Chain A
Amino acid sequence: MSKLTMSKAINEGLRNCLETDPKTLIMGEDVGKLGGVFRVTDGLQKDFGEDRVIDTPLAESGIVGTAIGLALRGYRPIVEIQFDGFVYPAFDQIVTQLAKMHARALGHIKLPVTIRIPYAGGIGAVEHHSESHEAYFAHTAGLRVVTPSNPDDAYWMLRQSVESDDPVIFLEPKARYWDKAELSAAPALDLHAAKVVRPGTDLTLLAYGPMVKTCLEAATAAEQDGHRIEVVDLRSLSPIDFATLEESVKRTGRAVVVHEAPVFMGMGAELAARLTEKCFYHLEAPVLRVGGYHAPYPPSRVEEQFLPDLDRVLDAVDRALAF
């Protein structure tokens, strides 16, 4: 198979979902003729019709709220939120309704809704187009939260998300939409499994979504200094495959968590706390975190200073190794 970009891989995944299950629908703003602002739904309305690929009114709460109703009627909606910063009008429907309805009905009903959100920065966008809000969703019980870092995962994880009977927040790292890779013939992993994407012995870099690539580059760079860095791609943020993480950190004795979202109260805090609890006697250094500052996502001319890059990751690696 030839190489596909991540956006095309997701497009293929969506196409496959629409083909295999007539109950799946795609809903969102501009997902039809335009094919989405990132062209992720390109050509789908043409092939599956306006009843399956639905251009919705501009109302995010309305999109998610009606998707819930459609799911109650037996449909399997795949919702596209145009950009990360525009999910907030739908936040209420997601956290108070979508996440809780299965439990409120004591399991009598299921809400198989997948919400795709292009997220995170690094593409020089204007305000509200670069945010990482994964912690809000991962903090909410009832939601599953996943984020692929490469085209193959994007394809298979999307299909697994749509097949899930639970609501899934599917975060697409937009800076990686144009990365290319071949797709495998079958999913290598369960939707919620973490993956060691580069083995090493001296320290574990924990990352997900857009930062996996950055961490892989950092690991390659660190090799020149003689450091053998392991990189683990979390892939799933709720649930987290702690077993794989703990196993890695127990082996390397050191861990650095890297994400774009602000460090304060973020995923890194959870990972550091958990790894400290579970791997205390194996740790040679405190678990360090690299991420965004406690500030609104900055104007794009300075986003490089906000986002963790090779140097900031390597700096943290050095600090951890120095203990």
Chain B
Amino acid sequence: MTVKSTSRARKKAAPGVTDSLRTGKDAPAELVQLLTPEGERVEHPDFPLTVTPDELRSLYRDLVLVRRFDAEATALQRQGELGLWASLLGQEAAQVGSGRAMREKDYAFPTYREHGVAWCRGVDPLNLLGMFRGVNHGGWDPNEKNFHLYTIVIGSQTLHATGYAMGITKDGAEDAVIAYFGDGASSQGDVNEAFTFASVYNAPVVFFCQNNQWAISEPTTNQTKIPLYRRAAGFGFPGVRVDGNDVLACLAVTRWALDHARTGSGPVLIEAFTYRMGAHTTSDDPTRYRATEETEAWKAKDPISRLKAHLEREGLADEEFFAAVDAESETLGLRVREGVRSMPDPDPTLIFDHVYAEPHALVAEERAEYVAYAQSFEGGE
């Protein structure tokens, strides 16, 4: 049984689970890992990966910059510049690894925490802050970077991703889609419906579950009795559990899964086993439900320090490199800080803009009423 599909033609839905290797309890190695927490490179028979020193350094750079952006946003929330922030701290490797595995024409459907994926897609980080600042509900053009809007209703986007993937099949294109969601979301009907549709229509979609162990205060054990990646078997497609703090493993597994999908072999579920180091959002208080020892234990698996250790151990980067990344991260921080502070409030007529694509009589009428009312005040426009 090979895990690499070489078929270029899109196949009809497979009659059964063809890829039993990673579907059920017989999966050989439960957690795919290519880089140990100590920064040692290990091989996995099913997921070979060759990365050049340049690539390693640029992965490191992405991890650091994404973490810096996230820290800046958390600080901005504390300073009252953002109403809320959902931090990705601890999940950088899962996001950068999977994000970097995508090709340009692949499409990502995120939750509200995929800042690292957005970064890899080339979305301006300031775009992500609009909804948290309250100036819009998303705002960017999803088709510009093939990165859909953040979705807050848990699990909804997995269906949009699947439908989009069904469209790719109809177009006869060789692209793939990746749908992000959390371990909590795995309980939602929509996610399970997405699995069914994707499986039945053999849609080229990779379901990327970041199991960060918590759904606000609820542990994964409140959502499932079995490891999440094994869910895939019941729907008839492969599931893989990857070390979500290992950027190389996330890159290799996602690259494989996207290829599997784009070459006509159907969906894949990846469970990136990771940890949310911070609060769920800036409104959350994890000390109420989570033991410090648990968080400390995960700190030892930090995605950035392990890649740094690897770069140092192999002599692939010197002080100059690390200093340059740090400097770049300072610049990014400054740009984000200044960008948010100078982000203008929208004109209130935004309320009426884009409710519909075509004119709608009621919206037009209420807009006119609003404008007249606003103008009736002195100094009103």
Query: A303 at interface (Cβ–Cβ under 8 A)?
Result: no
Interface centre among A71, A89, A106, A109 (most CB of B within 10 A): A106
**Known pairs A92-B153, A242-B361; A142 contacts B138 (CB<8 A):** no
Q: Mark B183-203, 1 if CB is under 8 A from A, else 0.
A: 000000110011011001000
For B200, give the chain A residue with the smallest CB separation: A57
**Is the pair B361, A105 in contact by a Cβ cutoff of 8 Å?**
no
Give a binary string over A241-265; 1 marks a CB under 8 Å from any B CB, 0 the rest: 1100000000000000000000000
Interface residues of A in 55-76 (CB under 8 A from B): 56-57, 59, 61-62, 64-75
**Does any Cβ of A come within 8 Å of B48's Cβ?**
no
Contact of B167 among A70, A192, A240 (CB under 8 A): A70
Are A72 and B363 CB-contacts (below 8 A) given A51-B170, A66-B197, A106-B353? no
List residues of chain A with CB within 8 A of the CB of B314: none
A104 on the B face (CB < 8 A): yes
Interface size of A as a range: 35 or more
Chain B residues positioned under 8 Å from A164 (CB to CB): 357-358
> Are A238 and B194 in contact (CB-based, < 8 A)?
no
Contacts A59-B197, A97-B156 hold; do A69 and B163 have CB atoms under 8 A apart?
Answer: yes
Instruction: Knowing A65-B156, A93-B156, say if A102 contacts B357 (CB, 8 Å).
Output: yes
Q: Return the chain A residue nearest B167 by Cβ.
A: A73
B197 touches A57 (CB 8 A): yes
Partner of A192, one of B158, B197, B361: B361
Shortest beta-carbon distance, B221 to chain A, in Å? 26
Residues of A within 8 A of B361 (CB): 192, 239-242
**Nearest chain A CB to B124's CB is how many angstroms away?**
14
B164–A239 CB distance below 8 A: no
Judge whether B165 and A96 touch: CB under 8 Å. Answer: no
Q: Tally B residues with Cβ within 8 Å of A.
A: 44
Query: Binary interface profile of B, 162-174, with partner A (CB < 8 Å = 1, else 0)?
Result: 1111111011000
In the complex, A74 Cα to B175 Cα: how many Å? 15
A65 proximity list for chain B (CB < 8 A): 156, 158-160, 162-163, 190, 193-194
Given the contacts A75-B167, A105-B149, A69 and B139 also touching, CB distance less than 8 Å: no
Q: Is the CB of B163 within 8 A of A166?
A: no
Report the minimal beta-carbon distance from B181 to chain A, rounded to whole angstroms: 13
B163 touches A93 (CB 8 A): no
Decide: A106 near B362, CB < 8 A? Known: A62-B196, A92-B156. no
On chain A, the residues within 8 Å of B142 by CB distance are: 72, 105, 108-109
- Determine if B197 and A68 form an interchain contact, defined as CB atoms under 8 angstroms apart: no
Q: Which residues of A contact B171 (CB under 8 A)?
A: 73
Q: Nearest-CB distance from B109 to chain A (Å)?
A: 8
**Is A125 in contact with chain B by the CB < 8 A criterion?**
no
Assess A72 versus B354: contact at CB under 8 Å? Given A57-B193, A101-B149, A239-B360. Answer: no
Distance to closest chain B CB from A151 (angstroms): 25
Contacting residue for B193 out of A51, A61, A69, A107, CB 8 A: A61
B170 proximity list for chain A (CB < 8 A): 51, 70, 73, 75
Contact assessment for A74 and B356 in the assembled complex, using a CB-CB cutoff below 8 Å: no
Q: Please, which residues of chain B bring their CB within 8 A of the CB of A142?
A: 355-356
| A110 and B153 alpha carbons, distance in the complex (Å) | 20
Tally of A-B residue pairs with Cβ under 8 A?
152
B148 with A165: CB separation less than 8 A: no
Main secondary structure of the interface of B (DSSP, over half): helix
Which residues of A are found within 8 Å of B165, using beta-carbon distances? 69
Q: Is A144 an interface residue (CB 8 A)?
A: yes
Does A195 belong to the interface (CB within 8 Å)? no
A144-163 vs B, Cβ < 8 Å mask (1 yes, 0 no): 10000000000000000000
A70, B163: Cβ atoms closer than 8 Å? yes
Contact between A97 and B160, CB atoms less than 8 A apart: yes
Report the Cα distance A106→B131, complex, angstroms: 12
B160 touches A69 (CB 8 A): yes
Tell me the bound Cα distance from A65 to B189 in angstroms. Answer: 12
Q: Is the CB of A69 within 8 A of B356?
A: no
Report A64-123 residues with CB < 8 Å from chain B CB. Answer: 64-75, 89, 92-93, 96-97, 100-112
Cα-based distance from A242 to B141 in the complex (angstroms): 35
Given the known inter-chain contacts A67-B163, A69-B164, please indicate yes or no for A105 contacting B197, CB distance below 8 A. Answer: no
A107 in contact with B149 (CB, 8 Å): no
Is there a chain A Cβ closer than 8 Å to B161's Cβ? yes
Given the complex of chains A and B, what is the CA–CA distance between A194 and B168 in angstroms? 40
- Bound-state Cα–Cα, A57 to B136, Å: 35
Q: Are B354 and A69 in contact (CB under 8 A)?
A: no
- For the complex, give the distance between the alpha carbons of A192 and B314 in Å: 69
Give the residue of A68, A102, A105 whose beta carbon is less than 8 angstroms from that of B163: A68
Most chain B CB neighbours (cut-off 10 Å) among A62, A68, A74, A100: A62
Q: Which of A62, A69, A74, A112 has the most CB of B within 10 A?
A: A69
How distant is the Cα of A75 from the Cα of B137 in the complex, in angstroms? 24
A64 / chain B contacts, CB cutoff of 8 Å: 159
B206, chain A: closest CB distance, angstroms: 14
Cross-chain contact A106 with B139 (CB below 8 angstroms): yes
A70 adjacent to B193 (CB under 8 Å): no
Q: Is the CB of B363 within 8 A of A61?
A: no
Chain A contacts to B: CB under 8 angstroms? 51, 56-57, 59, 61-62, 64-75, 89, 92-93, 96-97, 100-112, 141-142, 144, 164-166, 192, 238-242
Between A and B, 12 residue pairs with Cβ closer than 8 Å are: A61-B193, A67-B163, A68-B163, A70-B166, A71-B163, A72-B142, A75-B167, A103-B354, A105-B141, A107-B354, A109-B142, A242-B361
Contact surface of B with A, Cβ cutoff 8 Å: 136-144, 148-149, 151, 153, 156, 158-168, 170-171, 189-190, 193-194, 196-197, 200, 353-358, 360-363
- Given A109-B141, A109-B143, A240-B361, 12 extra CB contacts under 8 A: A51-B170, A57-B200, A61-B189, A62-B196, A69-B161, A73-B167, A89-B189, A102-B356, A103-B137, A107-B354, A142-B356, A192-B361
